[in-house]
Structure 1
Amino acid sequence: MVWAILDFMVVLLFSLFWWTSHLIMKSQLYVVVYKCSSESADGEKAKGARSHLNRADSQGFMDMNGVEEGVEFLPTMNAKKVEKRGPKRWVVVTAVLIIFLLVSLLVGLLVWHFKYRRAPVQKVYNGHLVIQNLKFIDAYEISSLPAPELVMGAGILHAALQFIWPFLALIPPPGCSNGLLEGSVIAYYWSEFIVPAYRAKALDKAMADEQSLIQMVKYKSRNPMLQVNSIVAFRSCNFALHAKEGEITSFTTPGFPNSPYPNNARCTWVLRADVDSIISLTFKTFDVEVCSKGSDVIKVYNSLSPMEPDELVTLCGIYPPSYNLTFLSSQNVMLVTLITNAEGRNPGFKAEFFQLPKAKTCSKTLKGESGTFTTPFYPAHYPPDMDCVWNIEVPSTKNVKVHFNVFYVLEPGTPVSSCPKDYVEISNTKYCGERSQFVVASKNNKITVRFHSDQSYTDTGFSAKFLSYDSSDPCPGKFTCNTGRCIDKVMRCDGWVDCTDASDERACNCTTEQFRCNNGWCKPRFWLCDGVNDCGDDSDELQCKCPDKHFKCSNGKCIPETQKCDSKDDCGDGSDEGTCSKVVKSVPCKDYTYKCHNSLCVSKTNPECDGTKDCDDNSDEESCDCGIRSYSKQTRIVGGQDSEVGEWPWQVSLHVKSQGHICGASLISDKWLVSAAHCFQDESQIRYSDPKQWTAFLGLHDQSERTNEMVQERSIKRIITNSQFNDFTYDYDIAVLELQSPVNFTTTVRPICLPDATHDFPAGKEIWVTGWGATSEGGIGASILQKAAIRVINQTMCNTLLADQITSRMICVGILTGGIDACQGDSGGPLVSVESNNRLFLAGVVSWGDGCARRNKPGVYTRVSKLRDWIKQHTSL
């Protein structure tokens, strides 16, 4: 309808232009003068002349033969009369300008209409269809036959599928042999359309409608018996790129980054490099539909044919910028394909590639006391079809061992027991898969390390170092694991497995502060009966079990099994009702039951935002746009605690003027933060309670990059600290901050979920703390956002360790052997727990501790669930 209106406007403007031009041309053919009588000059004659003029003008001088008296036609060369009686100059100028504008508008509209709107565009599709009642014959597999012969041989296909031409292949369905097809054929095709630009979207829509395509095939074939089971049509987009020596070439999915890549599309990028070169490909930005069956997918091949044996990697989902997405070819070609379905709305990817000289060999001889070596091009994915050998030799009086710091030689679906594809081989033993740090030692001063990769999937590879050592004391001043790894002696028999083979925890003499497990391991005594299988054989929990047919409550009380899930709190702490597999609705509301918005309660632990409707009014699944990380992939980290960009998008850095980062906070909505009350206590020199002193940085990863485009800076409008905060005991250590203006949710800025007042974080649960605080007691703050995995400690035991300083508003979390903890500068930051559906909840706020990372001195955090009502009171969240 819009185009019809525009067409009408074009014709109308053209007609108006013609009529105006014609009228002006006519007016230039004559000049009008009026004679005055010499005998009388009275007013009546003059009035009559003016009346006569008006009457003539109103008739438009259309009847040129019946010219009335008083009208004289003059030749245009009569300059005098023209000057006296012609139109004024401003009229002429105005007319010319109007003509010019109309002509310009007309020309523009005509150019747009014919060159752009109706300009022909090429639309190419490919795909396949399944014809159920057509028998497959062997002749269809003869590749020497041209496509027309194949189609004619099929007979019915030629009549049915004139609109998709030619066929690329006719094959039997998967799993069928040529003799047992039961009358069905899969036909692969490509088709090309030339349509006006304004019809392109309509064509895409039509080709995406499978049922309409099936009906079209039946109509074209004029065969009502034709059974077309399915038709798939993809938009084709093909690109050919060649690397230039010394230059980096970029390419993106169509529309990136301003619009999503097309649906129902098949795109290919053919990448080439000069002879005797290989290609290095890196995805700089990767945001594709989340991985699932039939989701959008990107594949990279080590050839120009999309064949499975040459597939380097299959990618989908969203990756953080720091994730290793660099792949190398074994020759001078590479193929990238994108296959999309009908649903995705993601922006796609941006990639770069360049050429590298093809290495003639990756084998080396390494000599000396120590050294390092890696897979080719580490940390990029190693190339396919590689064979490397490292012959390592240390002084003859020493032995040699190889310490693998990072080891990722994994191929999906491949058993790591036999390592049939990619592997590292040392002394006839193959190693593959994902492995933590490990050591391989020799009995002399030489060792040979072999690495092999096949044509298909590649991985990050390994980073290793070789060391010479005295066989009588392989780890001077340290404990030697059976694997050859060296660890600090304090880690020996501390209850934690530090050697990959657990040799540090075997044959131990337990201290008075430990108990012995049935398997011989020594564990801290306060781990007894905490509900966690610390021994590995459950012997630390067996002695605490209740008699047969009894249920053990979280508080240690034993009750008969018949009293469990009977809608009564027989335990006293609700654990017999909150752990039921069957949700009981409309139970009496208690401190341990979840209360729906309709004031009815359900007996289920942590029902909020778990993807299941537990409340009749669905209130447990409302306000759940939180606690989800935009990046579905997280970088593998070995031996480090640096966070990834976007890994903790609710983390906030609070800065004070002229002081920099002081405290952390958590984003809970587009304008509210949660932090610790003790961060805003005034001192003699600075009024920390003044909102004007503070600036919040959201989406920040590196403190040195606060001007990064992903970082959002906001002023603080007001600070509300809990009125019951005790600056001596640190009880009620919580505050909420309102931002001066709302933030925009992005891949690096998102809110964390607030737990319900009944949300339970049981002892032993793994939990994460993040911040830019000091990395050691008394040390300086970190530049990169740090993360640490710690676990919830039994409240009773925590009070024992910290001299009864723990209240119900506090939660005790840490590693009792020391070494991992929050520290100065982390205050106010988040303590988060991963719950159902990988959704994260704010379990606590960094509050206080006895030093940092000391043994048997866990960190203490404000328990957010106990102050949930206070947060809602001040933020309405």
Structure 2
Amino acid sequence: MTLREGANHILEEHQFQGSPSFQTSALLSRCCSGYTETPRGGGGDSFYLDKLVAAGANRSFAGDCCHCMRDMNNLDEGVEFLPAMNSKKMEKRGPRRQVVVTVLIIVFLLVSLTTGLLFWHFKYRNTPVQKVFNGHLRVLNWEFLDAYENSSSPEFSMLAKKVKSTVEEIYKNHADIGPYHKETVITAFSEGSVIAYYWSEFLVPKYREESLDRAMADKQSLVQRWNPRLRNPMLKVESVIAFPVDPSIAHSARDNSCMFSLHAKEGEVTSFTTPGFPNSPYPNNALCYWALRADASSSISLTFKTLELEPCRDDSDYIKVYDSLSPVEPHALVRLCGNYAPSYNLTFLSSQNVMLVTLVTNKEGRFPGFKAEFFQLPKMKACGETLKGESGTFTTPYYPAHYPPDMDCVWNIEVPSIKNVKVRFNMFFVLEPGIPVSSCTKDYVQINGTRYCGERSQFVVASTTNKIELRFHSDQSYTDTGFSAEFLSYDSSDPCPGKFTCNTGRCIDRSMRCDGWLDCVDGSDERSCTCTEQQFKCQNGWCKPRFWVCDNVNDCGDNSDELQCSCSADSFKCNNGKCVPSTQKCDGKDDCEDGSDEGSCSTGQTTVPCKEYTYKCRSGHCISKQNPECDGEQDCEDHSDEDNCNCGLRSYVRKSRIVGGQNSDVGEWPWQVSLHVKGQGHICGASLVSANWLVSAAHCFLPLQGIRYSDPSLWTAYLGLTDQGDRSGPNVQTRKIKSIISHPFFNDYTYDYDIAVLELQSPVTFTAVVQPICLPDATHNFPVGKDLWVTGWGATAEGGTGASILQKAEIRLINQTVCNQLLTDQLTPRMMCVGILTGGVDACQGDSGGPLVSVEPSSRMFLAGVVSWGDGCAQRNKPGVYSRLTSLRDWIQEHTGL
């Protein structure tokens, strides 16, 4: 036993016995080391004993220590006693243990690190990623057979096997592609000589994914390598092109239950629909393909006649049309979702003799789907031409259908040498998703070195000579409806004879110069103007009619016409322009006299004292929220504000792309009613407000020329009608009138209280094109300046004949005070003034009784007014006058229960 081991033994023994006076091992260390030295003065054990007791050990322990020293002195020779002062030898065993522990810790850390790295490598860096590519290739030394159109034919299987082997051989020769290739499937063939369409699946480690993507995108990677041992290879291929796609699309292609192949027949139109159309909705969680083909020398014209899918959102059902038989994004012509009116132009052209239609659906919704038709037509051999003369017109190919992809057209236009030439675009739709109009990198029109694209209103491009060149380019992807244009010759010294010339080249009437309205797109007609006494000069220099000042509408654009009307900092400005102290806002009193200081104090279910301007719930409680009815939020405690809200929505909500025209789409205004008198045709309009009731104008039923128009038996109501020439169409419902109730206070001289309700003999059936409009609450606020829509079949010009197609116009609610100035105090509280003061847009004869509707933020539409009267039609500063529904709402409810 070494000295230290002996010391430790004694320490353990006395610690176990609980020796109270020995607290540290340091004392024992001194006992068995420092006090083992022989005292120079002698003394033996008593010397050590005394020393230990003096150092703090009890006498029993000191005795054991001294006894220990004797035992150590009696050890055999050869045992080396470590000198107490030789610290290096004393600590020889300690560092050995530390080294072992340190080594073990390092080994543990290395093992952990290695394990982590391996886990990361196999779990993340080396995780196989599934990649799918769609593509096509051209086989040069093979002739196309009709049997290749049938994927079940032996000929298809034979050629597919050969092409598959060829593709696999191409992949195999590339280090970044071959090792990861899992499967290739040939999906279709088309002519030229033979074009094969396929998809390939890869499993690639995540860290190699980018290398695979680069290799597949590089056409030089997908080049056939010739085997020198084969003098005549089986297939000679070129144009191997591949694009990454969503793997779910490729895998769904293996399910043939919703795959169709159709070939156009010469001189015939071929129709196809979604499965079950129109009797049942298309399937959920489905991917459907329609491969469309035409003869080799033809292209395809595809038109969707009916299209009703799930409303558009990021994950909604959608249709994509491809200028290919492979669903690859660079050849996508269009993506469609939601619904379109049947009159909306959805015709698409292919650049070759094939086209692919795909339908991708999610797990939700039940919608009818589509009905489409296609036919073949000769491929366009030339695009563009030389145009000469004083004037003429031209359009993009197949306009107003979508122009084909991959087009380049050039028009060289020349007018007589003494004239200059300009091109006026009356309609211009060259829009591609995601492409800013400032770059025009894909589809565009180029004139004089400048590119034009996007969706533009009418504009003019002029040349300083008698010649101009116009180029039109479309790439292989998304297409649009293109343009309709005309070229004109003009005298450079007088480009617009008798008219004002805008800086854009557009000509407008001289009366429009400096009248306060921007008739030129660039506003050049309102620059450098000298304001008259009847005009107000804005801070930006524009001149505006003086009666527009302080009408709560920012007419100047910089609000300078309203700044002088602002209330002080401690005041509130009412909607009618009146200023009231801020302390009176939301105090329960109508200090503004129009309710605007109380109408928007809070939202939600806050109950306030009932006033004329507060909305009253069915429970009798009133809430302060403005226009709460049918806004999608439950504001009344009894939820009555959201009752009876099956109104004001239309199935077809697509914006009509008609510039300069006012034709409505089928179903765009499903509450519009045409009232006919036998032998006279359309007389007045009306609005459907429920299955049994219509709202119209009282003046429509005044006796005239001996005819008692108040007799219900004279009238027939047509609902779901758009074209007056198609009154027997499948969408149209016809109803006789049971009763006509005109307001008892109607004044046939002033047209005050110009309102009537009509009860139908039998209720109508609500459909996609027949729906009721919402009736506003008496407290509903339609603010000044709000855009409203008026519709009808009335005359398109003063003194003209009625329109065949339902017309629409967007007009603006005008301040009542301003309107009274214009119409010499002819307005009453039951009237509202709406129009465009520049003229040109208005209701007219034959529109009487028709709807004036407002689109609310909830997208629900409310009946704001009824067409009543006007001073002429569409004259400047002569707006139309409409019966104000909110002022007549209680009377309507009294007689209809609505």
Please classify the TM superposition score into its range, dividing by the shorter chain length: 0.7 to 0.9
Q: 1:267 to 1:803 in 2, by over 3 A?
A: same
Deviations 1:565-600 (A, max 9, x none): 454444332212223464561011111111111211
Contact 1:666–1:752 (8 Å) recurs in 2: yes
Letter of the structure 1 residue corresponding to residue 477 of structure 2: S
Alpha-carbon distance between aligned partners in 2 of 1:458 and 1:684, rounded to the nearest angstrom: 56
Alpha-carbon distance between aligned partners in 2 of 1:173 and 1:837, rounded to the nearest angstrom: 49
Letter of the structure 1 residue corresponding to residue 271 of structure 2: S
Q: Secondary structure at the match of 1:870?
A: helix
- Cα deviation for residue 174 of structure 1 reads 10
Contact 2:605–2:635 (8 Å) recurs in 1: no
- Cα deviation for residue 562 of structure 1 reads 4.9
- TM-score using structure 1 length: 0.75
**Correspondent of 1:540 among 558, 561, 564:** 561
**Correspondent of 2:878 among 835, 857, 864:** 857
**Correspondent of 1:587 among 597, 604, 608:** 608
Q: 1:174 to 1:769 in 2, by over 3 A?
A: farther
**Correspondent of 1:169 among 184, 188, 201:** 201
* 1:640 counterpart = 2:661: yes
Alpha-carbon distance between aligned partners in 2 of 1:176 and 1:850, rounded to the nearest angstrom: 76
Deviations 1:102-127 (A, max 9, x none): xxxxxxxxxxxxxxxxxxxxxxxxxx
Contact 1:406–1:464 (8 Å) recurs in 2: yes
Deviations 1:455-505 (A, max 9, x none): 111001011111111101111111111111111112212221111111111
Alpha-carbon distance between aligned partners in 1 of 2:715 and 2:549, rounded to the nearest angstrom: 45
- Cα deviation for residue 859 of structure 1 reads 1.3
- TM-score using structure 2 length: 0.73
Q: 1:299 is matched with which residue?
A: 320
Q: 2:343 is matched with which residue?
A: 322
- Cα deviation for residue 177 of structure 1 reads 4.9
Alpha-carbon distance between aligned partners in 2 of 1:280 and 1:765, rounded to the nearest angstrom: 42
Q: 2:218 is matched with which residue?
A: none
- Cα deviation for residue 548 of structure 1 reads 2.4
**Correspondent of 2:128 among 137, 146, 155:** 137
Contact 1:254–1:261 (8 Å) recurs in 2: yes
Q: 1:343 to 1:173 in 2, by over 3 A?
A: farther
Contact 1:634–1:644 (8 Å) recurs in 2: no
**Correspondent of 1:770 among 765, 771, 791:** 791
Q: Alignment RMSD, CA only?
A: 3.0
Q: 1:387 is matched with which residue?
A: 408
* 1:360 counterpart = 2:381: yes
Deviations 1:208-261 (A, max 9, x none): xxxxxxxxxxxxxxxxxxxxxxxx998950000111122111111111111111
Q: 1:189 to 1:479 in 2, by over 3 A?
A: closer
- Cα deviation for residue 799 of structure 1 reads 1.8
Q: 1:331 is matched with which residue?
A: 352
Q: 1:424 to 1:191 in 2, by over 3 A?
A: closer
Letter of the structure 2 residue corresponding to residue 682 of structure 1: P
- Cα deviation for residue 803 of structure 1 reads 2.3
Letter of the structure 2 residue corresponding to residue 266 of structure 1: L
Q: 1:139 to 1:765 in 2, by over 3 A?
A: closer
**Correspondent of 1:516 among 537, 544, 569:** 537
Alpha-carbon distance between aligned partners in 1 of 2:614 and 2:281, rounded to the nearest angstrom: 44
**Comparing 427-436 and 568-577, the one that deviates more:** 568-577
Q: 1:477 to 1:139 in 2, by over 3 A?
A: closer
**Correspondent of 1:841 among 836, 847, 862:** 862
Gapped regions of structure 1 (runs ≥ 5): 1-130, 148-152, 158-166, 193-231
Alpha-carbon distance between aligned partners in 2 of 1:775 and 1:687, rounded to the nearest angstrom: 27
Alpha-carbon distance between aligned partners in 2 of 1:186 and 1:383, rounded to the nearest angstrom: 26
Letter of the structure 2 residue corresponding to residue 404 of structure 1: F
Q: 1:226 is matched with which residue?
A: none
- Cα deviation for residue 168 of structure 1 reads 6.8
Contact 1:138–1:178 (8 Å) recurs in 2: no
Contact 2:132–2:246 (8 Å) recurs in 1: no
Deviations 1:418-437 (A, max 9, x none): 11111111111110001100
- Cα deviation for residue 544 of structure 1 reads 0.9
Letter of the structure 1 residue corresponding to residue 620 of structure 2: S
- Cα deviation for residue 851 of structure 1 reads 2.1
Q: 1:264 to 1:683 in 2, by over 3 A?
A: same
Q: Secondary structure at the match of 1:629?
A: coil
**Correspondent of 1:698 among 704, 713, 719:** 719
* 1:727 counterpart = 2:748: yes
Letter of the structure 1 residue corresponding to residue 717 of structure 2: A
Contact 1:234–1:264 (8 Å) recurs in 2: no
Q: 2:78 is matched with which residue?
A: none
Q: 1:292 to 1:189 in 2, by over 3 A?
A: closer
Q: 1:172 to 1:557 in 2, by over 3 A?
A: farther
Alpha-carbon distance between aligned partners in 2 of 1:714 and 1:619, rounded to the nearest angstrom: 31
Q: 1:741 is matched with which residue?
A: 762
Contact 1:634–1:647 (8 Å) recurs in 2: no
Deviations 1:241-289 (A, max 9, x none): 1111221111111111111111111100001111122111110111111
Q: Secondary structure at the match of 2:731?
A: coil
Q: Secondary structure at the match of 2:843?
A: coil
Contact 1:593–1:603 (8 Å) recurs in 2: yes
Contact 1:137–1:178 (8 Å) recurs in 2: no
- Cα deviation for residue 368 of structure 1 reads 1.2
**Correspondent of 2:417 among 362, 382, 396:** 396
Q: 1:238 is matched with which residue?
A: 259
Gapped regions of structure 2 (runs ≥ 5): 1-121, 134-166, 172-178, 184-198, 213-244
Q: 2:97 is matched with which residue?
A: none
Contact 2:126–2:205 (8 Å) recurs in 1: no
**Correspondent of 1:607 among 623, 628, 632:** 628
Q: 2:816 is matched with which residue?
A: 795
Q: 1:265 to 1:234 in 2, by over 3 A?
A: farther
**Comparing 561-570 and 782-791, the one that deviates more:** 561-570
Q: 1:482 to 1:146 in 2, by over 3 A?
A: closer
Q: 1:682 is matched with which residue?
A: 703
Q: 1:264 is matched with which residue?
A: 285
* 1:445 counterpart = 2:466: yes
Q: Secondary structure at the match of 1:865?
A: helix
Alpha-carbon distance between aligned partners in 1 of 2:545 and 2:533, rounded to the nearest angstrom: 9
Contact 1:136–1:171 (8 Å) recurs in 2: no
Letter of the structure 2 residue corresponding to residue 628 of structure 1: L
Q: 1:811 is matched with which residue?
A: 832
Q: Secondary structure at the match of 1:548?
A: coil
Contact 1:286–1:319 (8 Å) recurs in 2: yes
Deviations 1:675-699 (A, max 9, x none): 1111112235212111111100111
- Cα deviation for residue 669 of structure 1 reads 0.5
Q: 1:558 to 1:471 in 2, by over 3 A?
A: same
Alpha-carbon distance between aligned partners in 1 of 2:393 and 2:249, rounded to the nearest angstrom: 53
Deviations 1:532-588 (A, max 9, x none): 111111111111111224321112222344543454444332212223464561011
- Cα deviation for residue 410 of structure 1 reads 0.5
Letter of the structure 2 residue corresponding to residue 548 of structure 1: A
Alpha-carbon distance between aligned partners in 2 of 1:385 and 1:622, rounded to the nearest angstrom: 53
Q: Secondary structure at the match of 1:639?
A: coil
Among all aligned residue pairs of Structure 1 and Structure 2, give the percentage whose two residues are the same amino acid. Answer: 71
Contact 2:130–2:204 (8 Å) recurs in 1: no
Q: 1:391 to 1:233 in 2, by over 3 A?
A: closer
Letter of the structure 2 residue corresponding to residue 793 of structure 1: I
Letter of the structure 2 residue corresponding to residue 715 of structure 1: K
Contact 1:233–1:264 (8 Å) recurs in 2: no
Q: 2:652 is matched with which residue?
A: 631
- The residue correspondences of 1:210-229 to structure 2 (distance < 5 A) are none
Q: 1:481 is matched with which residue?
A: 502
**Correspondent of 1:827 among 843, 848, 871:** 848
Alpha-carbon distance between aligned partners in 1 of 2:808 and 2:561, rounded to the nearest angstrom: 30
Contact 1:235–1:264 (8 Å) recurs in 2: no
**Comparing 814-823 and 421-430, the one that deviates more:** 814-823
Alpha-carbon distance between aligned partners in 1 of 2:766 and 2:418, rounded to the nearest angstrom: 62
Letter of the structure 2 residue corresponding to residue 840 of structure 1: M
Q: 2:140 is matched with which residue?
A: none
Q: Secondary structure at the match of 1:788?
A: strand
